[in-house]
């Protein structure tokens, strides 16, 4: 999965590179910076950091990973929050962008970020999350890399209050808890009716089973053509790997997980009915008895097609992330 949110200690994450929230001067700061030095080897890392010298706010530089389970430590200097009118968001965006660019130049296939500037520097967590997800999403549209956002505890992860409240209310208002409830399967029924083949009970079994329609793969390829999208737009937008997507479009009989089908519906910018037809091709419907399904329905109705932001919201509601393979 190209983008994941994990709860862990950054110094224990096994990726090609981790990002350290560095002091602008070659001295050891507090919080994440000090934890990275202690885990990597204090003196060794400090000596290499001194060779770099000062790092401007928004810039990034690299050292060896030393004793950490990564090849590289990318040091970036985040902005101090001063109310939002002093270019803080632009500087924070630069931290993520420059770190990703450096990781790409180092041929890294994976990188782990902390939530930059939200500790001692006082950056509001909701704005920091929105900024990080925007830069990560833009990067993944043109690059293949596994990107991890590492949060240490639950309090470190507050998504937009508006989205959090809206989607939680939507799920609570629409969730059907009874086990024998009727699922939202109207899309599948409509698809059957539209084929003009409902009610032909007198057909022979051989006639019935040989009356095949487009497979999921064929329907997906048709949607990509109709929407005038590139393959890279689709697999990046669905948070799935290029390799998995290649397998998907090269196999007529490919059968996706429900999670993958939902991720593709969002990547293709489908409306609720279009998404229902795509899901039906794989044998799925959006269920009123599933909180995850209701969240996906909410995203589709409100045209929330940025899967990175959607996954932040899913995480905050203790739901699985889109793009799981």
Domain range annotation of the chain: 3-158, 162-316
Residues involved in catalysis: 33
Tokens of 275: 């998404």
Kindly indicate whether the domain formed by 3-158 is annotated with CATH number 3.40.220.10.
Answer: yes
pLDDT for residue 197 is more than 60: no
Q: Could you tell me the sign of the dihedral formed by the alpha carbons of 240, 246, 249, 255, in that order?
A: negative
Q: How far apart are CA 87 and CA 313, in angstroms?
A: 26
Reported as a single tens digit per residue, the pLDDT across 149-163 is 888 655 555 544 455
Residue 260: its H or E element: helix 258-267
Averaged confidence pLDDT in the chain: 86
Higher pLDDT, 221 or 5: 221
Of the candidates 99, 77, 92, 102, which has an alpha carbon nearest to the alpha carbon of residue 27? 77
Give the predicted TM-score (pTM) of the model: 0.70
Q: Are 137 and 307 in contact (CB under 8 A)?
A: yes
Written as one string, the DSSP assignment of 183-246 is: PB-HHHHHHHHHTT-TT-TTS-HHHHHT-----HHHHHHHHHHHTT--HHHHHHHTT--HHHHH
Q: How far apart are CA 302 and CA 30, in angstroms?
A: 41
pLDDT band at 164 (very low <50, low <70, confident <90, very high): low
């Amino acid at each position: 999965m190209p983008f994941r949110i994990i709860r862990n200690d950054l110094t224990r994450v096994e990726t090609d590179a981790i990002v350290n929230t560095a002091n602008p001067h070659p001295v050891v700061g507090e919080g994440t910076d000090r934890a990275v030095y202690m885990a990597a080897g204090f003196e060794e890392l400090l000596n290499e950091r001194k060779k770099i010298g000062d790092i401007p706010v928004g810039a990034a530089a690299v050292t060896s990973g030393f004793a950490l389970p990564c090849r590289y430590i990318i040091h970036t200097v985040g902005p101090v929050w001063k109310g939002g009118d002093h270019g803080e968001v632009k500087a924070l965006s630069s931290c993520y962008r420059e770190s990703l660019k450096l990781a790409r130049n180092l041929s890294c296939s994976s990188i782990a970020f902390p939530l930059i500037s939200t500790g001692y520097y006082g950056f509001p967590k909701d704005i920091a999350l929105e900024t990080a997800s925007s830069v990560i999403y833009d990067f993944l549209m043109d690059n293949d890399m596994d990107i991890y956002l590492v949060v240490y505890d639950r309090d470190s992860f507050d998504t937009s209050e508006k989205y959090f409240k809206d989607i939680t209310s939507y799920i609570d208002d629409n969730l059907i808890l009874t086990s024998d409830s009727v699922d939202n399967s109207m899309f599948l029924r409509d698809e059957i009716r539209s084929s003009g083949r409902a009610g032909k009970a007198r057909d022979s079994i051989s006639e019935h089973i040989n009356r095949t329609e487009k497979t999921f793969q064929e329907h997906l390829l048709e949607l990509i053509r109709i929407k005038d999208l590139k393959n890279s737009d689709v697999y990046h937008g669905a948070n799935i790997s290029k390799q998995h997507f290649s397998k998907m479009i090269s196999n007529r009989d490919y059968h996706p997980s429900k999670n993958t089908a939902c991720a593709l519906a969002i990547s293709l910018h489908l409306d609720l009915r279009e998404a229902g037809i795509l899901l039906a091709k794989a044998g799925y419907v959006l269920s009123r008895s599933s909180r995850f399904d209701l969240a996906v329905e909410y995203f589709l109705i409100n045209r929330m097609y940025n899967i990175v932001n959607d996954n932040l919201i899913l995480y905050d509601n203790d739901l699985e992330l889109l793009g799981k393979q």
